Every structure is written in structure tokens, then in C-alpha cells.
């Protein structure tokens, strides 16, 4: 680790630029993936206190919608920044990958969050800070990798016609569709002004408790395939899985406690878990 930091410092000192070798990038990303796995294990015992699980035990809180808006806006801007100022973004078709991120986060920030019929719920400030940190690191790693490190020769016309890209595209769009459709179903369970929870029905809700999370995980796994299975994209796919699988389990337990007639459904993976 000391060797890594010294070499990194020397490289930046000599070039005057924030640069990483492929080896250094790998070390950063695998450390970040290991962190995600630790978070995954921790979240088997700790329920993330937002949405229906919000709690006053985590210190001062802020308005839920404002918190969501700020943390998603951050990611949107980081990716937009790297897309626009990145030195290699437009030297190949890598901008297409940026476009997927930016569209996803544009939707999440400016359409999804305002649409949510959330109550006057609050989110602990510490959770907002942790989410911003997690979102920022993932966006920086992916933005930096795509705009500064990825070789433009790897993202030409051949890549767009490759089986890996096309498979990833189908997986990504399928996940995005599932996430979009099921999030909308959840939002529309409440009429404007209502605050209670209802049992979601239809489509993938008949198979799993949290198909919106399943969709999000599929989406970013598809992105990883599209992006030539690079280590930065792997980070975000693993973080999404580590965040959302325990949350789906928490939701499932919560429904069973709060709805005596809650139908038998798997948690997040149809027929399996
Ligand atoms: N990439 C990542 O790591 C990551 C991390 C977190 C979230 N996300 C994505 O962000 C989106 C939102 O996440 P979330 O954790 O807030 O999802 P969620 O807990 O399923 O809630 C989604 C929205 O639907 C409402 N809702 C959910 N179940 C309901 C029910 N039974 N009756 C009435 N209303 C209901 C919630 O209201 P309340 O707020 O009042 O509960 C909230 O407004 C998802 O698409 C998720 O995939 C991604």
C-alpha cells in the first residue's frame, strides 16, 4: 500500500496531473469492491434507515426528497463533467456509455425524485453523506476510467457491433425497463397526499418483493458488459448489488410484519431468493 501511494504521488508530481496507471486503477477498484462486500455483510445486521425504515436514532435528519435530489444530482454532474471535459470522451464511441449514465441520472434526479409521493419523511444526515460519498466515488471512478484511461481503439465501430456490447445493451435496457416500470407502480400505489403503504401487485411483483431493485442490479450488470467488463463498471455493479439486496430483504421482512395477508414471494431473484 505504501509503495502504491508513493508511486502514485511521484507520477502526479512529475506530470502535474491527476493520473493513474492501469495497475493503480486496479488496486483502487478492487479495494473499493472489497469495501462494497464489507458493506454487504454489515447490512445483513443493520437496516439502512431511509424510506419506510427511517429512524431518529441516527442523529439529525433532513427532508427525504431534498436528500434524494442532492445525492442523485451529484452523480449526474460528476458524469456530465467527465463527459464534457474528459480528454478522450469524443475520440471514440465511449461517449455512448456516458450518455447511458447521464440519462439514467437525469431521470433519477429531475423526474423520479419529484414524482415520488413521499410523505414528510426524513433521512438521517449521516445517511445522506454516506450516499453522496458512495455515489461520488463510483461516478469518479467510472467517469475517470472512461474519459482518461479507456483506449479509444477499444471503443470503435467494431465494439458497437460486438456480441459483448449488444448482449450488454439488451441486459441494460431490460434492467432499466424493469426498474422504471416497477418504480412507477410503487409511486402510483399512493394517491397524491396519501402516506400509507399498500401491497404492490402485477408484473414481477407477483414473483419478488423488490423488482425495482432487481431491475437496477440487472441494469448495471448490463452496463458492465457493454463497457467491455472494465473494473470501474464492475465496482458500480457490485455496489448496487451490495446496497440493494439487503434492502430488499429488509423490505420483505417489513411487509411480513405489517401485512398479515402479504402473498408468498421471493425477495429479489425470482424462484431463487
Ligand atoms: N444503484 C444503487 O445502489 C441504488 C441505491 C439505492 C436506490 N437505488 C434506486 O433508487 C430507487 C428508489 O430506491 P428506494 O430504496 O427508495 O425504493 P423503495 O423503498 O422501493 O421506494 C420507492 C418509492 O415507492 C414508495 N413505495 C415503496 N413501496 C411502497 C408501497 N408498498 N406502498 C406505497 N408506496 C411505496 C416509496 O415511498 P417511501 O419513501 O415513503 O417509502 C418511495 O417513494 C430504486 O429504483 C432503486 O433501485 C439505487
| Strand, coil or helix: 210 | coil
Question: Among the residues of the chain, which ranges form H helices?
Answer: 2-15, 22-42, 64-85, 95-106, 113-115, 125-144, 157-160, 163-187, 211-226, 231-258
Which residue's CA is minimally distant from atom 41 of ligand 1? 51
CA distance 132 to 127: 8
Predicted confidence band of residue 12 (pLDDT cuts 50, 70, 90): low
Please tell me if the CB atom of residue 245 comes closer than 6 angstroms to any atom of ligand 1.
no
Atom of ligand 1 nearest to the CA of 121: 40
Atom of ligand 1 nearest to the CA of 213: 47
How many Å lie between the centroid of ligand 1 and the Cα of residue 67?
A: 13
Which residue's CA is minimally distant from atom 27 of ligand 1? 186
CA distance 239 to 250: 17
- 208: which strand partners? 266
Q: How many CA atoms lie within 13 A of 140 on its CB side?
A: 13
- Asked whether 236 and 138 are in contact (CB, 8 A), the reply is yes
Please tell me if the CB atom of residue 24 comes closer than 6 angstroms to any atom of ligand 1.
no
Measuring CA to CA, which residue among 155, 46, 136, 54 is closest to residue 97? 155
How many Å lie between the centroid of ligand 1 and the Cα of residue 142?
A: 24
How many Å lie between the centroid of ligand 1 and the Cα of residue 51?
A: 7
Arithmetic mean of pLDDT, 120-139: 94
CA quadruple 57, 62, 66, 70: dihedral sign: negative
Please tell me if the CB atom of residue 185 comes closer than 6 angstroms to any atom of ligand 1.
no
pLDDT in tens, 210-257: 999 999 999 999 999 999 999 999 999 999 999 999 999 999 999 999
pLDDT, residue 118, reads 75
Crossing angle for the helix pair 231-258 and 211-226, nearest 10 degrees? 170
All structural domains of the chain with their residue ranges: 2-258
Q: How far is CA 41 from the centre of its chain?
A: 18
Backbone angles phi, psi at 232, to 5 degrees: -70, -45
Q: Among 176, 183, 220, name the best residue to mutate to test ligand 1's pocket (greatest count of ligand atoms within 8 A of Cβ).
A: 183
pLDDT in tens, 94-113: 999 999 999 999 999 999 99
Atom of ligand 1 nearest to the CA of 243: 3
Return all residues near 190 (Cβ < 8 A) that are at least 6 apart: 117, 196, 198
Q: Among 40, 121, 128, 212, name the best residue to mutate to test ligand 1's pocket (greatest count of ligand atoms within 8 A of Cβ).
A: 212
- Asked whether 226 and 218 are in contact (CB, 8 A), the reply is no
* Percentage, residues of the chain above pLDDT 70: 93
Composition of the chain by helix, strand, coil, percent to 5: 70, 5, 25
Amino acid at each position: 500500500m505504501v509503495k502504491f501511494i508513493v508511486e502514485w504521488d511521484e507520477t502526479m508530481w512529475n506530470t502535474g496531473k491527476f493520473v493513474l496507471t492501469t495497475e493503480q486503477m486496479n488496486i483502487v477498484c478492487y479495494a473499493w469492491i472489497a469495501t462494497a462486500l464489507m458493506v454487504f455483510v454489515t447490512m445483513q445486521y443493520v437496516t439502512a434507515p431511509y424510506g419506510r425504515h427511517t429512524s431518529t436514532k441516527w442523529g439529525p435528519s433532513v427532508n427525504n426528497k431534498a436528500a434524494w435530489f442532492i445525492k442523485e444530482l451529484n452523480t449526474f454532474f460528476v458524469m456530465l463533467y467527465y463527459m464534457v471535459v474528459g480528454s478522450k470522451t469524443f475520440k471514440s464511441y465511449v461517449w455512448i456509455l456516458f450518455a447511458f449514465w447521464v440519462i439514467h441520472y437525469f431521470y433519477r434526479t429531475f423526474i423520479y425524485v419529484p414524482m415520488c409521493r413521499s410523505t414528510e419523511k426524513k433521512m438521517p444526515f449521516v445517511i445522506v453523506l454516506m450516499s453522496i460519498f458512495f455515489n461520488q466515488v463510483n461516478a469518479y471512478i467510472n467517469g475517470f476510467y472512461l474519459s482518461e484511461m479507456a483506449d479509444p481503439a477499444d471503443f470503435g465501430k467494431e465494439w458497437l457491433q460486438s456480441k459483448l456490447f449488444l448482449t450488454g445493451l439488451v441486459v441494460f435496457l431490460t434492467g432499466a425497463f424493469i426498474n422504471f416500470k416497477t418504480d412507477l407502480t410503487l409511486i402510483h400505489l399512493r394517491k397524491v397526499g396519501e402516506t400509507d403503504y399498500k401491497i404492490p401487485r402485477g408484473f414481477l411483483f407477483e414473483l419478488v418483493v423488490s423488482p425495482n431493485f432487481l431491475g437496477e442490479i440487472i441494469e448495471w450488470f448490463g452496463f458492465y458488459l457493454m463497457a467491455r467488463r472494465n473494473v470501474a463498471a464492475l465496482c458500480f455493479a457490485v455496489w448496487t448489488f451490495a446496497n440493494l439486496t439487503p434492502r430488499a430483504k429488509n423490505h420483505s421482512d417489513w411487509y411480513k410484519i405489517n401485512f398479515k395477508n402479504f402473498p408468498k414471494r421471493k425477495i429479489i431473484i425470482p424462484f431463487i431468493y
